[in-house]
Copies of this chain bind each other. A is one copy, B any other.
Amino acid sequence: MNDKIRIGIAGYGNLGRGVEAAIAKNSDMELVGVFTRRDPQTVSAAAGTAVFPWSALADHRDTIDVLVLCGGSKSDLPVQSPELAASFNIVDSYDTHARIPEHFAAVDAAAAEAGTTALISAGWDPGLFSLNRVFGEAVLPDGETYTFWGRGLSQGHSDAIRRLDGVAGGVQYTLPVEAAIEQVRSGIRPALSTREKHTRECFVVLEDGADAEAVREAIVTMPDYFADYDTTVHFISAEELARDHAAMPHGGFVIRSGNTSAEHSQVVEYRLALDSNPEFTSSVLVAYARAVHRLAAAGQHGAKTVFDVPPGLLSPRSPEELRAELL
């Protein structure tokens, strides 16, 4: 008897490929296939992965235990998550922090009516970082929480650079300021401005004949994106960009610094150092797919977040084994 958890992947970009790789690392799961809005003939997936057109999702209601949604937060997930939660248990990585309440409400309505379980906003931020903010605040109520991101490639800021006149290509890295991290770690709870927490570093390929100084000025003064930060701009060749900046590293820190008495301060630090942001995010989605499968089996329907999931449900191990081996 095959009792593996049957996973479907809806959307096949960096995140979808990461989910495909993560399922191969989890022996209690199997991949039913990838569902794409492109022509399946044009999609080259890993050996053994079935590729279906998006329309085939309707035929797979009974053969998929959990569907992992790998679309973007801007235009895909706000539509897809409520729509697919009406037919499937789902996990998504919706990461527009300010709009999470409305996304939750839309998905919850669909999932509650359909009797499915839908976990939204999994990943690392939102996701594991959010959990550490909750644990930190609950354990050290008299304290401050600090989040630092990086060193990491920022997709949004890289896009902003590439839209500028004279720019042929480029990437942007967000870097946490080490001195600020050290201050926070010391337990003193500093007030830190935006500029004191992060710097930004850009690697830019100019178009032929473009004015480097004008491009640099346009970047460092760009409101919202760069004006509030100390920003460094390096000009490189297209070859260097392709060779040295194709990876998508990221990570960061959540630090809670608090006092349990007048005499004693305590510091809790959670840190991620990721070679590949999309592969790590995908691995989190897959672990939460296991939990969703179990919550659904237990009749716990509707929308959920990482705050609602008992951590033991993420593990393939039994509760007895977890208590004996990992507690």
Question: Do B290 and A305 touch (CB < 8 A)?
Answer: no
Cβ B312 vs Cβ A319 within 8 A: no
Shortest CB-to-CB span from A254 to chain B, Å, is: 10
CB of A65 to closest CB in B, whole Å: 17
Counting chain A residues whose Cβ lies within 8 A of the other chain, the interface size class is: 35 or more
Q: What is the CA–CA distance of A25 and B259 in the complex, to the nearest angstrom? A: 9
A90 touches B (CB below 8 Å): no
Instruction: Specify which of B18, B134, B312 is in contact with A322 (CB 8 Å cutoff).
Output: B134
Question: Which chain B positions have C-beta within 8 A of A86?
Answer: none
Identical copies of this chain, number: 2
> Which residues of A266-288 are within 8 A (CB) of B?
266-276, 279-280, 282-284, 287
- CB-CB under 8 A from A273, the residues of chain B are 185, 187, 266-267, 269
Shortest Cβ distance from residue A290 to the other chain B in the assembled complex, whole angstroms: 7
Given A260-B283, A265-B275, A273-B266, verify A312-B308 contact (CB < 8 Å).
yes
Which of A75-83, A123-131, A214-222, A225-233 touches B?
A123-131
Shortest beta-carbon distance from A322 to chain B in Å: 5
**CB-CB nearest 5 A-B residue pairs:** A307-B312, A260-B279, A138-B314, A264-B275, A264-B276
